[in-house]
Amino acid sequence: MGEKIVIFDTTLRDGEQSPGAGLNKNEKLEIAKQLAVLGVDVIEAGFPVSGAGDFDAVKAVARRVKGPIICALARSIEKDIEIAYNAVKHSARPRIHVFLATSKIHMKYKLKKAEGEILRLAVEAVKYAKAKCPDVEFSPEDASRTERPFLYKVVEAVIEAGAKTVNIPDTVGYATPFEFAELIRLIKENVPNIDKCVISVHCHNDLGLGVANSLAAAANGARQVECTINGLGERAGNASLEEIVMAIRTRSDIYKGLFTGINTKELYKTSRLVSKLTGMLIQPNKAIVGLNAFSHESGIHQDGVLKERITYEIMKPEDVGFEAMRLVLGRHSGRHAFAERMKALGFDLDKEKMEKAFARFKGLADKKKEVFDEDLETIVEEEISKIPEKFRLHHFYIASGDQVKPAANIKLKFQKKVLEASSTGDGPVDACYRAIDKITGAGGKLLDYRIASVTSGKDALGEVSVKIASKNAVVTGRGVSTDIIEASIKAYLSAVNRLMYKK
């Protein structure tokens, strides 16, 4: 059946230490619940001794999140361990994670202690934690820069003291995959009681090798990997959970017999939730969960992936929670991708119209980095299909304020008549749209509403894009004006006219 790699998620502890990524109790709880849905095995919920807020957050996660082991971090100090236990003891599956630096650099400059004292403190801390909680993990901080013989001695001693998991951290991201793989092999060869515990790894990304080091360790005997969503963490961050999980799954020929319990279809959703709550944006080219991870703009790539997905995609977008691959239409796109997008938008163009539309698209693509569906619809409908402007704005008036229910009066030109209606709404735009529906009878459902600045300055042009649906038809509309209400009305009318044309 193979061997499971335990996924230890430290987004709520190490990930939260990213500058500017602080989370409150409710936010930690929301992420923890999603991590449980994702299927992580261990959630390191925080460092309780660091403050009352973190203690309360860890306690809330321990009480309310079911399924995963809930872990709290503690220094090798009785007070830390006591507070950590009081936070996680409410979980059905609590764990205390104790750490103590073991490298000469840390012992000399940070702890100012000799090897003998470090060994004694480590053993005492594990025994003290074990007396309170059956599941204890120990980390010799900065293990990758620790003298090997001393590291073996510490690992053997803490296992004897009761540690069920021993974590080998590359605390400053200094190791390379070859070195780190060798370190795991040597620990297995030189620690007599190593078979009594799980070997874990915690790799930082200072040299961009966090994921590579974690995978190298897993291939050489590590059976727990500590990681974070989106690779969040101190400095350059930690090994990225989504990258480790998908590498093991995608390259099963290399990581033979290894598997995780992660529900990969929840990766994208979890990534977006963490990004939203921490305020840490995801770079578009981020592996697995970045917006461009399954996007193709090159004409050659688009042609290939449309003919056979595996030509340029090694994973299915839907396997990580994306709806589908994304063909980005731009200056490098070819006819094949353009024609496929036209079909997807519901346009059945003959050869001559397709060529006209493609020529206009290429001209627009030279001016814009990316051409959106709304641009394509404008090209086809306004320039080729010649959508008639059945309703046109003649006049609008709105009344709004914090003490007034928003109201709108709209006058539209229809043939040679001027039709008028008034309505109230949740806001001035909603009131205008309700009045327009009274006149036109369109009654479409607003699916999307977006505002963007076309120009800069206080008198900037605002562009509004809307998407509305009515029965089986979905259309878009755009409007531009220095008055954002007017732009909103024009956009909605544009969509209504297109909807009526389709009908």
Q: Are the C-beta atoms of 226 and 239 separated by less than 8 Å?
A: yes
Residue 283 maps to a domain: no
Q: Mean pLDDT, to the nearest integer, of 409-413?
A: 95
Same domain for 119 and 237, yes or no, is yes
Regarding predicted confidence, which is higher, 381 or 439?
439
**What pLDDT does residue 460 have?**
57
Least confident range of 263-272, 273-282, 346-355, 418-427: 346-355
| H/E stretch holding 445 | strand 445-453
Tracing tokens 């956009």 back to the chain, one arrives at 491
User: Where is the domain boundary, 278, 303, 320?
Assistant: 278
φ, ψ (nearest 5 deg) of residue 144: -70, -15
Domain boundary among 384, 405, 425: 384
Residue 296: per-residue pLDDT:
46
Residues 258 and 306 occupy one common structural domain: no
State whether 59 and 205 are in the same domain: yes
Same domain for 249 and 121: yes
CATH for 152: 3.20.20.70
Looking up tokens 């702890």, which residue turns up?
Answer: 111
Residue 136 in domain: yes
Residue 159 sits in the same domain as residue 112? yes
In a shared domain, residues 60 and 110: yes
Instruction: Pick 15 or 341 by higher pLDDT.
Output: 15
Torsion sign over Cα 268, 271, 273, 276 = negative
* Tens-digit pLDDT profile for residues 462-483: 778 888 888 767 788 888 787 8
Q: Are residues 102 and 214 in the same domain?
A: yes
Q: Angle at Cα 278 formed by Cα 215 and Cα 26, nearest 5°?
A: 110
The pTM of this model reads 0.68
Are the CB atoms for 27 and 16 separated by under 8 Å? no
Last-in-domain residue among 220, 249, 278? 278
Do 487 and 437 fall into the same domain?
Answer: yes
Contacts 24+ apart (CB under 8 A), 186-195: 186/148, 186/152, 187/151, 187/152, 187/155, 188/220, 188/221, 190/148, 190/152, 191/152, 191/155, 191/156, 191/159, 192/156, 193/156, 193/159, 193/160, 194/155, 194/156, 194/159, 194/166
pLDDT of residue 246: 93
∠244-250-255 over CA atoms, to 5°?
70
Confidence (pLDDT) at 468: 87
- Give the CATH number for residue 476: 3.30.160.270
Same domain, 414 and 344: no
Q: What is the DSSP string of 372-430?
A: -HHHHHIIIIIIIS-----EEEEEEEEEEETTEEEEEEEEEEETTEEEEEEEE-SSHHH
Q: Are 337 and 306 in contact (CB under 8 A)?
A: yes
Q: What pLDDT score was predicted for residue 21?
A: 76
Task: Decide if 172 contacts 142 (C-beta within 8 A).
Answer: yes
pLDDT at 298 over 60: no
Together in a domain, 374 and 415: no
In a domain, 342, yes or no: yes
- Given this model, what pLDDT does residue 297 score? 46
- Average of per-residue pLDDT across 405-415: 94
384 pLDDT above the threshold of 60: no
What's the length of the chain?
Answer: 503
In-domain check, residue 287: no
pLDDT-based confidence at residue 87 (cuts at 50, 70, 90): very high
Average pLDDT over residues 197-218: 97
**Residue 141 structure tokens:** 């901080």
Residue 294 phi/psi, 5-degree rounding, is -125, 35
The count of domains in the chain is: 3
Q: Please tell me the distance from the alpha carbon of residue 310 to that of residue 436, in angstroms, as a whole number.
A: 48
d(CA 465, CA 10): 40
pLDDT digits (tens, 9 = 90+) for 133-171: 999 999 999 999 999 999 999 999 999 999 999 999 999
CA dist 12 and 10 (Å) reads: 5
pLDDT tens by residue, 24-49? 899 999 999 999 999 999 999 999 99
- Split at pLDDT 50, 70, 90, the class of 280 is confident
Confidence of residue 452 (pLDDT cuts 50, 70, 90): confident
pLDDT at 8: 98
pLDDT band at 305 (very low <50, low <70, confident <90, very high): very low
Residues 352 and 207 in one domain: no
Spatial separation of the C-alpha atoms in residues 231 and 14, rounded to whole Å: 10
| pLDDT (0 to 100) of residue 480 | 77
Q: Please tell me whether residue 236 adopts helix, strand or coil conformation.
A: coil
Tell me, rounded to whole angstroms, the distance of Cα 11 from its chain centroid: 12
What is the CB neighbour count within 10 angstroms for residue 67? 15
Give the integer Cα–Cα distance in Å for 417 and 411.
Answer: 10
Q: Residue 290 falls within a domain, yes or no?
A: no
Let me know if residue 344 belongs to a domain: yes
Shared-domain flag, residues 376 and 492: no
Domain that holds residue 251: 3-278
pLDDT, tens only, 101-122: 999 999 999 998 999 999 999 9
Q: With bands split at pLDDT 50, 70 and 90, how would you rate the model's confidence at 220?
A: very high
pLDDT band per the 50, 70, 90 thresholds, residue 454: low
Give the list of residues 6+ apart from residue 229 with CB closer than 8 angstroms, or none.
9, 11, 15, 31, 35, 240, 241, 242, 270, 271, 274
For residue 476, tell me if it sits in a domain. Answer: yes
Query: Does 289 map to a domain?
Result: no
